[in-house]
Structure 1
Amino acid sequence: MPVVTSKKGKIGIAVFVIAVAGSIWFSGLHEALTPERIKEEREVLHAFVEQNYVLSVLSFILLTVSTAFFVPGAIALVLAAGFFFGAIPGALFSVTGLTLGAVSAFLAARYVLGDWIQEKYRVPLAAFNQEMQNHGHYYLLTLRIVPVVPFFLVNILAGLTKISLKNFTASTSIGLLPASVVYSFAGRKLGSINSPRDVLSPGVVAALLLLAVLALFPVLLKNLRRIRNKDRPKRLD
């Protein structure tokens, strides 16, 4: 993974990220990324997709990338993807865009602040870094399956750790897939959906929670074994 070491390079990345986030925010784009707004324009958008499929896919992925820069609306976009592109293609396009956006935010956070934080707090972070190197991909996978922490915040916080870009990318793309498939399939009936809560039935929530537990199971099992071995009395020879 290339590393930006020069001061100008890091400042350039920071300016780029701030410019992208600011442009999207002040453009009001985040206000348009709601199921209601998309439903209002769905006939026009559907006609455009049919006439310009490749351009529509590329535009959708680029728009999805923007959700990594403090812009809400990822769920609405995945719903729209299912409606305009079909369930499976919509889910794949969504995961592609979300992963690219996550990686962009991750690298920006690492290059701008990550190196400085790791150097300044090298000793206090030693145990944490070791844990992240050993199990960080399990934690990240769990947070992607059940997004209890905002999407953009996970990207930034992960960039401040020692988790590798490879593990971050793989965990993000795999973890985003289950919920993306659920929302994309639901998006086929976009007209009857008023909010993301309409999609998350008790069964769907239970299935996602089960996947999250399974993703974290290796860490839980290892910690349980460590506790048992610690409490086990030592043999006297």
Structure 2
Amino acid sequence: MPEAPKSGLAAKLPILLILLVAVLGAVLLRDRLSFAALAAHRETLLGWRDAHFGLTALGFVAAYSAIVGLSLPGATVATLTGGFLFGLFPGVLFNVTGATLGAICIFLAARSGFGARFAAQMEARGGQVAKLQAGLRDNELSVLFLMRLVPVLPFVLANLIPAFLGVRLSRFAITTFFGIMPGALVFTSIGSGLSGVFARGETPDLSIIFSPQILGPLLGLAALAALPMILKHYRRLP
């Protein structure tokens, strides 16, 4: 059962602030959180990493969490930065941790502000909407993994929709952490090779994720995530 919804402006304030910052960030930070900005400041970032590795790692995870949690532009560049600064490992761990913490922040803000009340209202109304909600809960883990493995939805919507459907925080956090890991591995790997890209004055080829050797395994993982849901459906057939 979803938690009892909170009421009042205080409960809605976090998600309203996130929406406001997201709009301002889209206007003011688009050029500051870009690949060109990373290229321009790469020597400074590497110097900080070499002199203060622990603080740089903590600062990077905190910055990545803020980018995701406040829905700011630059999440892809942040993932590339994690690979550039820290290599494939521990870079991918820092990337996934930062993204998951940010996703949890916006999930909690949405659930506190609107999500819990919306989920409770859907359940109370009954009918087809409540049946859909119940069906999603029956296949919660599979659906959440699929949302992460096959990112058809923008990342911010994949954080908000579970809050509006009454998903438990523990399941949201687990499926986010492991569901985004395959994609994070690809982009972190690209980031770990940016030194050569910078030397040639080029930009990274992010379309590699659509190549057969990358897309095939991702779709295979998506099929595995969907398998329990498919089996459950066929077991219910007469």
TM-score (norm 1): 0.85
* Distance (whole Å) between structure 2 residues aligned to residue 58 and residue 213 of structure 1: 35
Equivalent residues in 2 for 1:121-200, closer than 5 Å? 121-122=122-123, 123-124=126-127, 125-190=129-194, 191-192=196-197, 193-198=203-208, 200=210
Distance 1:72 1:220 in 2: 36
* Mapped contact 1:186–1:199 kept (Cα < 8 A): no
Of stretches 188-197 and 99-108 in structure 1, the one that deviates more from structure 2 is 188-197
Say if 1:32 and 1:127 are closer, same or farther in 2 by CA, change over 3 A.
same
> 1:117 matched to which residue of 2?
118
Q: Is the 8 A contact 2:6 2:113 kept in 1?
A: no
Give the 3-state SS of the residue equivalent to 2:151 in structure 1: coil
1:108-130 Cα deviation digits (max 9, x unpaired)? 11111113323433314321222
Offset of 1:156 from its aligned partner?
0.7
State the Cα deviation string for residues 17-62 of structure 1 (Å, max 9, x = none): 245435534541x333333432232222211221222222222112
2:221 matched to 1:211? yes
Contact 2:79 2:187 in 1 (8 A): yes
Q: Name the stretch that deviates more: 52-61 or 12-21.
A: 12-21
Deviates more, 1:9-18 or 1:106-115: 9-18
The one-letter code of the counterpart of 2:8 is K
Distance 1:38 1:3 in 2: 44
Q: Which moved more, 1:211-220 or 1:61-70?
A: 61-70
Q: What SS class does the counterpart of residue 121 from structure 1 fall into?
A: helix
Counterpart in 2 of 1:31? 31
Kept in 2, the 8 Å contact 1:35–1:195? The answer is: no
Q: How many residues align?
A: 227
Partners of 1:133 and 1:185 in 2: how far apart?
Answer: 35
**Cα distance in 2 between the residues matched to 1:56 and 1:148:** 32
Name which of structure 1's ranges 186-195 and 17-26 shifts more when overlaid on structure 2.
17-26
SS at the partner of 2:139? helix
Inter-CA distance 35–61: structure 2 relative to 1 (3 Å threshold): same
* Contact 1:79-1:183 within 8 A present in 2 as well: yes
Inter-partner Cα distance in structure 2 for 1:174 and 1:60? 20
**CA separation of 1:83/1:213 partners in 2, compared to 1, >3 Å: closer, same or farther?**
same
Long gaps (5+) in structure 1: 231-237
The Cα offsets for residues 116-161 of structure 1, whole Å up to 9 and x where unpaired, read as 3234333143212222222122111112112111101110111100
Query: Residues 220 and 121 (structure 1 numbering): CA distance in 2 closer, same or farther, change over 3 Å?
Result: same
1:4 Cα offset (Å):
6.4
Distance in structure 1 (CA, Å) of the matches to 2:12 and 2:156: 20
How far 1:90 sits from its partner (Å)? 0.7
3-state DSSP class of the match of 1:9? helix
CA distance in 2, matches of 1:75, 1:22: 18
Offset of residue 2 of structure 1: 7.7
Look up the match of 2:51: 51
Larger radius of gyration: 1
Q: Once superposed, which parts of structure 1, at least 4 consecutive aligned residues long, lie more than 4 Å away?
A: 1-4
TM-score by length of 2: 0.85
Deviates more, 1:87-96 or 1:66-75: 66-75
CA contact 1:132–1:163 (8 Å) conserved in 2: no
Tell me, in whole angstroms, the C-alpha distance in 1 between the residues paired with 2:16 and 2:175: 28
Q: Give the partner amino acid of 1:144.
A: R
Say what the alpha-carbon RMSD is for the aligned residues. 2.3
Q: 3-state SS of the aligned residue for 1:31?
A: coil
Q: AA paired with 2:61?
A: I
